[in-house]
Structure 1
Amino acid sequence: MLADEVLAYYRQLGETDRLRVRASGRLEFLRTWDLLGRLLPAPPARVLDVGGATGIYAGPLAAAGYRPHVVDPVPEHVDAAAALPGVTAALGDARALPEPDGSADAVLLLGPLYHLLERADRGTAWREAARVVRPGGVVLAATISRFASAFDGFARDFYAEPGYAAVVDGALRTGAHRPVANAWFTTAYFHHPDEPPAEAAEAGLEPAGRYAIEGPGWHLPRLEAILDDPRRRGQLMDFLRRVESEPSLLGATSHLLTAARRRS
């Protein structure tokens, strides 16, 4: 279901720590959770968390009264998610979901679109989400920004490493991120901000909003100190909410959340 190098990357089980340890990952989690709280239907809605990994969002959703079910192609992810209270999990592929039509109140695609390099495969994943969500239900899909590797390369000094500039150039031209070093993330597709709504619409869904997850905040100086201070963290979160759908800033985020609805 996944390319060998992508499966090997996720079998390291680093995704949960990424969202809890690194400052940029912490901001990604806080902002994604904030958006879920505003965009999901009220509990006890059934949420199909496609590509939900170890249950980093499914666990808190269950604690909040939702009924989350994780579908993920990595066996270790499924085992970890299924061990969380209130969470069920199964192996599966976003392009062929083992779910009945209209069986979910909401569908999360918070990872699968990253690793489908062909538009036809991404279209299939969107159509599967549209099939399994109920009429009127919401699909929330995360994508990585077309410009993320360029920003990250300067922030983390990857440009000093041989080959990195060529990898960024390929992503900027085609969206395909094909790394030659594990530290540069694994094989992925980086979306232009205009692409996800178009993909959703082609799948028969009605686009309902674009939200910059980290916005321009993911590489702020002293971000860790800001997040550790409740007052400053609140100020940052308030600012990012205010500009989350500002078109001129959508390309500056690391991740974009696209909302779409199945027509009633």
Structure 2
Amino acid sequence: MEMETEKDRDQILEYYNSGKEIDRLLRGIGVIEWERSREIISRYLSEEKMVIYDIGGGTGVYSRWLAELDHEVHMFELSPSNVQYARELQASGQISPIHRIEIADARSIARVDDSADLILLMGPLYHLPEKDERIAVLQEALRVLKPGGTVIIAAISRFSSTLWGLSVFGQQNNLIDDHVFMEMLEGELNEGQHIRPDKFPNFISRAFFHLPAELKSEIVAAGLTHIQTVAVEGPVWIVPAFAEKWEDTKSRETLLKISSLVENQESLLGMSPHMLAIATKNTNT
């Protein structure tokens, strides 16, 4: 496995500091990721106020949503630009306040042991090519999670770029006929290592794409108890004319229902661009 290099870190920060995450969940297939992720996370929220750590919180979309539900949310994010954006939006007074917004590496969270009821890791595992570093993130989450608490862990599917290139989203670019794109896919499919070619600067920066079984094994290796892994978008994102169907209320409800119905089908997990794994901290830990 390849170590995270200074070049990788610079590319990752450049990608997120450029503001690409600000509206990502409001356009394209990001809209179904947003709807489904909130639906899944909501299953683990209580009516009482929870202490929630949103680690790798991006621009704060999940933190703001959870703060609106009156939870005590602590947002941790590596990108200074994302943190600044979240702070400026909060300073405008137009949203419910996030309790704390801090710059932090997911491998080192400045909180005491056993202090969070719920932890979101909605991105940190994407950008660590080395397995030991991903496990370190999970172990840090284990440390600050209360016994019996829940951690929700996002991962990108090993097959996400491949399916995107084969779908209608890659149609105008003829990506599968591009040798540079195919070389990128080979690295992803063979080893899970996504290395963004210079030719495609808008693609996600240096990343690791998981197989479902790999994600589970890393969670267990970190000392967490794996409960389940579910598909976020499922296979429905690949439907022709996705944008038009999403704008139609009835079609949108159908797409979301299908995603929900097949979310636990192991044979379809890899077709979903994103997966969410649910894990807990043993009360004897």
1:202 aligns with 2:221: yes
Report if aligned partners of 1:147, 1:251 keep a CA contact under 8 Å in 2. yes
Of 93, 97, 115, the match for 1:86: 97
Equivalent residue runs for 1:1-264 within 5 Å: 3-22=9-28, 24-82=29-87, 83-84=89-90, 85-87=96-98, 88-155=100-167, 156=170, 157-180=174-197, 181-264=200-283
Which 5+ residue runs of structure 1 have no aligned equivalent?
A: none
Code of the residue aligned with 2:278 in structure 1: it is A
Residues of 2 paired with 1:43 and 1:55: CA distance? 22
Which string of whole-angstrom CA distances, capped at 9 and with x for unpartnered residues, describes residues 98-138 of structure 1? 11111111111100000010000001000000011100000
**Identity of aligned pairs, percent?**
33
Normalised TM-score (structure 2)? 0.89
Code of the residue aligned with 2:156 in structure 1: it is I
Shift of 1:188: 0.3
Which 5+ residue runs of structure 2 have no aligned equivalent?
A: 1-5, 91-95
Calculate the aligned-residue CA RMSD, in Å. Answer: 1.4
Residues of 2 paired with 1:112 and 1:104: CA distance? 18
Normalised TM-score (structure 1)? 0.95
How many residues align structurally? 263
Shift of 1:229: 1.7
Residues of 1 paired with 2:158 and 2:131: CA distance? 15
Which string of whole-angstrom CA distances, capped at 9 and with x for unpartnered residues, describes residues 7-48 of structure 1? 0011111113111022x1111111111111113344411110
Report if aligned partners of 2:236, 2:258 keep a CA contact under 8 Å in 1. no
Code of the residue aligned with 1:104 in structure 2: it is A
Code of the residue aligned with 1:7 in structure 2: it is L
Code of the residue aligned with 2:159 in structure 1: it is F
Could you list the structure 1 runs, at least 4 aligned residues long, displaced by more than 4 angstroms after superposition: none
Report if aligned partners of 1:41, 1:106 keep a CA contact under 8 Å in 2. no
Residues of 1 paired with 2:256 and 2:135: CA distance? 32
